[in-house]
Amino acid sequence: MRTILIPVLFVLSATCVPALCGNEETPVLQPGAPAETRSRFAGLDDVRLLANGLLQLGQSLREFVQRTKGQINDILQKLNIFDHSFYQLSVLASEIKEEGEELKKTTVVLKANNDEIKDLSVQINSKMENIMQEKSQLQNKVEGLEKKLSTLSHGLVTSDQVAEINGLRDVINSQEQSIIELLNAVKEQNDQINHQKTKIKILEEKVDDTIERMPENFNSEAPTLTPFLTSICGHFSTDLPSDCSQLFSRGERASGVYAIRPNGSEPFMAFCDMSKDYGVTVIQRRRDGSVNFDQTWEKYENGFGYFQGEFWLGLRKIRSLAAQGDSVLHFQLEDWKQVRRFIEYRFYLDGPESNYTIHLTHLSGDLPDPISNHTGMMFSTKDRDNDKHQDLNCAHSYTGGWWFNACGDTNLNGRYFHMRPKGRSERRRGIQWKPARKAPYFLKLTQISVYPVAPPSSSSASSETGIFL
């Protein structure tokens, strides 16, 4: 602005006329000459020069006003964006605070339950000590009676005494059986106590993470699945069933953990679901978030978790099951509204040399099919990127190993959320089933199982298959 005014003032000073500048000189009358009347107005050239300078000044002022107005509008837009971002941050902070308070309350309740469980454990231990003392006393009595019996066995014992001794022996045997049953019950109680302690520890960690606004720790080691007993690998391995369906055909009807040996492979333990009219071999189950599924390639290849809780059977074992012939891959899903659905595929799994490439053909089910385009995909983990996305490692960004294509939104090995996350990017890290152009299913329970194309005594697959133990 200052640079514009300087030339204008110079023009004004140069063109200043007597009428405008106030320096009008008093006319001198020449004797003998006629009086000359001077005009009180500036010359036409001077006026034009002045008007031209004023015009330039006005144009410069106009440009300056336009630039200033644009800068003010930019500042107002940035202020609006800042206000909106600050409001979103305030809402998010409020939600985090509320979730933290709820988790604190839950932790207090669980701690109280833990104290009660500890008291119960002390009482059980005290009773066990009393029982062991009584057992010792009974054994001493039995030894005394046996000595007396041996001394009286030379014909001095009457039939009544023999009957009395036999009766005492029966009582002692029944007492010993009761002691064994009580010890088993105590063992089960201890197992339940340990399970409760694990849940309490997990909730405490989540409370701390939420309050401190720290990301959840998904680098902990997952437990390795129960190894197969070496004693079974010796004499009885030739009699083991190839899978759970063959076990069902042999007459077994109870769901649980069994030893199998598919396709002549090394024997291993597997969970068999016998809840319908045929047996299926469960290869994955999610139900409570007690096991971390963000694991390495080695873990996904060999298996991890607990058969009575959450687990992944292992790619090597799944491959041995699929290598037996035509197999069906059965997905059993339940959302947070307790709605259960299922979908089935005929599938085959390549070996480790192809990074366990999966081949799928849709068969049936009441779920939309979002993973047929995953056929031909290799398995990926956070430390081995085999997906089709050029810029991302899907397993690292979305957590959990899976047959990723270009990431997408379907991943049953993602992070387990007990409450639905607010942000879309965080929800995509969770367990979900996302059909194309449709809202995703956010899942509470999942079970993936394998069985032959024509299982024994089966007519058709049911949407109720799966017991979610």
Question: Got the DSSP string for 3-47?
Answer: HHHHHHHHHHHHT--HHHHS-PPPPPPPTTS---PPPSS--HHHH
Would you say residue 424 lies in a domain? yes
Q: Is the pLDDT of residue 409 over 70?
A: no
Counting Cα atoms < 13 Å in the Cβ hemisphere of 106 gives 17
Would you say residue 396 lies in a domain? yes
Q: Tell whether 395 and 287 lie within a shared domain.
A: yes
Q: What is the mean pLDDT of residues 351-356?
A: 96
Q: What is the mean pLDDT of residues 274-283?
A: 93
Could you tell me which residue, 156 or 243, shows the higher pLDDT? 243
Q: What is the mean pLDDT of residues 197-224?
A: 59
Q: Tell whether 303 and 441 lie within a shared domain.
A: yes
Would you say residue 426 lies in a domain? yes
What pLDDT is recorded for position 211?
47
Would you say residue 1 lies in a domain? no
Would you say residue 38 lies in a domain? no
Q: Is the pLDDT of residue 176 over 60?
A: yes
Q: Tell whether 286 and 147 lie within a shared domain.
A: no
153, 177, 198 - which closes a domain? 153
153, 174, 193 - which closes a domain? 153
What pLDDT is recorded for position 252?
94
Q: Is the pLDDT of residue 277 over 60?
A: yes
* Number of domains into which the chain is organized: 2
Per-residue burial over 179-196, b = 16 or more CB atoms within 10 Å of its CB, e = otherwise: beeeeeebeeeeeebeee
Q: Tell whether 132 and 262 lie within a shared domain.
A: no
Tally of residues, the chain: 469
Share of residues in the chain with pLDDT > 90 (%): 32
Would you say residue 208 lies in a domain? no
Lowest mean pLDDT among 226-240, 243-257, 268-282, 402-416: 226-240
Residues 285-338 pLDDT 10s: 999 999 999 999 999 999 999 999 999 999 999 999 999 989 999 999 998 889
Q: Tell whether 251 and 130 lie within a shared domain.
A: no
Q: Tell whether 275 and 385 lie within a shared domain.
A: yes
- Please report, in angstroms and rounded to a whole number, the separation of the first and last CA atoms in the chain: 80
Q: Tell whether 401 and 295 lie within a shared domain.
A: yes
Q: Tell whether 439 and 323 lie within a shared domain.
A: yes
Strand segments, DSSP code E, in 287-326 are 304-305, 311-312
Lowest mean pLDDT among 130-134, 217-221, 237-241: 217-221
| Angstrom distance (rounded) from CA 271 to CA 289 | 19
What pLDDT is recorded for position 69?
86
* CATH number of residue 299's parent domain: 3.90.215.10
What pLDDT is recorded for position 149?
67
436-439 long-range contacts (CB < 8 A, ≥24 apart) are: 436/370, 438/368
What pLDDT is recorded for position 157?
55
Would you say residue 443 lies in a domain? yes
What pLDDT is recorded for position 26?
43
Range of the domain at 300: 244-452
153, 169, 195 - which closes a domain? 153
Q: Tell whether 145 and 250 lie within a shared domain.
A: no
Phi, psi (degrees; rounded to nearest 5) at 345: -135, 145
Q: Tell whether 149 and 248 lie within a shared domain.
A: no
What pLDDT is recorded for position 88?
74
Q: Tell whether 149 and 269 lie within a shared domain.
A: no
Full-model pTM: 0.53
Could you tell me which residue, 467 or 44, shows the higher pLDDT? 44
Residues 388-397 pLDDT 10s: 887 788 888 8
Would you say residue 52 lies in a domain? yes
Residues 45-100 pLDDT 10s: 888 888 899 999 999 999 999 888 888 888 888 887 887 777 778 777 777 887 77
Strands 432-433 and 268-273: unpaired
State whether residue 166 is helix, strand or coil: helix
Say if CB 440 and CB 335 are below 8 A apart: no
Q: Tell whether 406 and 307 lie within a shared domain.
A: yes
Say if CB 312 and CB 283 are below 8 A apart: yes
